[in-house]
Amino acid sequence: MFKTAPLNPPDSIFGLIEQFKKDTNPEKINLSVGVYQDESGATPVMKCVRMAEQKLLDAAGTKSYLPIDGSTSYNTAVGRLILGDLDDQADVNSVTAQTPGGTVSLRLAGELLRRVFNVDTIWMSNPTWANHPKIYGAAGLNVKKYEYLDEQGTRLDFDRLVTSLEDTQPHEAILLHTVCHNPTGVDPTQEQWEQLCSIIKERQLFPIFDFAYQGFGTSIDADAFPIRRFVESGGEALICNSFSKNFGLYAERVGGITAVSHDADVSRAMLSQIKLTIRTMYSNPPLHGGAIVDAVLNDPELRTVWESELTEVRNRIQQLRDTFVNAMQTRIPEKDFQYILQQRGMFSYSGLTAEQVERLRDEYSIYALSSGRINIAGINSGNLERLCDAIAAVV
């Protein structure tokens, strides 16, 4: 019965993790998957997470089902983290449902738009996270791309972006990377976001804000600017957030879907539709990851620990960008690497071609995505020299 199933190629990101694990070179370097690594190359459990887990262990607890939309205190805290003080405004009505990671939340948003609002098309940046087109294709939407980068593929070409949005039709959806664009690290400025918000409203598009890197750009609050600005100006939006990166809770699968409107009845209806979609997909979310985030966000002491750990991560990545650019500039003075300093978050579109990435992997055991995306957090003082020598050799 199963013999007609065609063999699917390995995932373009997770497939590389398998290859990296099998590589026996003791000097191998992993710049592929978007997972934070510290100076020793480890992906540690954050201190605030360990403190919260201890608290949960000490409490009596239960493993009974969560509600379909997850824990109320988690959802309230997540809504507040995303919207800040806007959450207090009487004319801002938001509902959040806890989801198993950001990926599920993105898929839920697609299911919701197609099933409830008959949306048939979603626009996303070219390039975007490799899983985005697959998620929305699987949700039954046509995927179209808007332009994002300049000819060199390292900086935003805002005019090109705006021009390509002229092809959108009312009632289509648009996917936006709120901060730390994946895979490029290239974000619009606040003024450009203002313009984008107006265009989205004028063209009557359903926006989905993918918010996987809150706290990795400038700060927890500043990173939420595009969403808050859009809501403040009267817009309705779906927000898909993840705690994989900013809590280091990758394997716990914890995130949320938030629908913001300006009418309490609309919000109630949206939550009812989100719950219906969840019930038919996975019934209700897992407990542990959400309980950790809930415990941290709702405890002032743990929250302070979290915020300072997150600041440390953000500063370290910025520092790594500086070190990396200096080291490359010394090796190849005629090439300008400054664009890497303008990019934000874990990723950089390095400008490496697919052939150069292949050579790095085959000849030096250095793993990056074939698009040229590198994970800056995979660099450390122990591998920097070898990495830069190898890059200089292949470019």
Q: Which residues are identified as catalytic?
A: 129, 210, 245
To the nearest whole angstrom, how small is the minimum distance from the Cβ of residue 234 to ligand LMR?
31
Of 135 and 196, CB closest to ligand LMR: 135
Rg (CA), the chain: 21
347-349/373-375 β-pairing: antiparallel
Q: Does 13 bind ligand LMR (CB under 6 A)?
A: yes
Q: How far apart, in whole angstroms, are the C-alpha atoms of residue 178 and residue 193?
A: 10
* DSSP label at residue 164: H
Q: Which of residues 165-224 bind ligand LMR (CB under 6 A)?
A: 182
Name the nearest CA neighbour of 30 among 376, 350, 388, 366: 366
Q: Which is nearer to ligand LMR, 129 or 146 (CB)?
A: 129
Binding of ligand LMR by 127 (CB under 6 A):
no
DSSP-assigned beta bridge partners for residue 374: 348
Residue 34 Cβ vs ligand LMR, minimum distance, rounded to whole Å: 3
Identify which of residues 181 and 228 has a Cβ nearer to ligand LMR in the complex: 181
The single residue among 20, 29, 34, 293 that binds ligand LMR, judged by CB under 6 A, is 34
The residue from 74, 123, 129, 206 that contacts ligand LMR (CB under 6 A) is: 129
> What number of other Cβ atoms are within 10 A of residue 323's Cβ?
16
Position 33 contacts ligand LMR (CB under 6 A): yes
Select 69 or 223, whichever has its Cβ closest to ligand LMR.
Answer: 223
Q: Evaluate the omega torsion of the peptide bond into residue 183 and state whether it is cis, within 30 degrees of 0.
A: yes
Distance CA 267, CA 260 (A): 7
Q: Please identify, using beta-carbon distances, which residue of 129 and 193 lies nearer to ligand LMR.
A: 129
Q: Least distance to ligand LMR from the beta carbon of 377, Å?
A: 11
Residue 148 near ligand LMR by CB under 6 A:
no
Smallest distance, ligand LMR to C-beta of residue 347, A: 8
Q: From the list 105, 128, 131, 178, which residue makes contact with ligand LMR (rule: CB under 6 A)?
A: 131
Q: How far is the CB of 182 from ligand LMR (least distance, A)?
A: 5
> Tokens standing for 180?
């730390």
Total residues contacting ligand LMR (rule CB under 6 A)? 6
Residue 166 CB burial class (10 angstroms; 0-12, 13-18, ≥19): exposed
Residue 17 interacts with ligand LMR (CB under 6 A)?
no
CB 223, CB 214: distance < 8 Å: yes
Closest CA to 114 of 99, 136, 86: 136
* Dihedral (Cα; 17, 22, 23, 24), 10-degree rounding: 140
Closest-approach residue to ligand LMR (CB): 34
Residues in touch with ligand LMR (CB under 6 A):
13, 33-34, 129, 131, 182
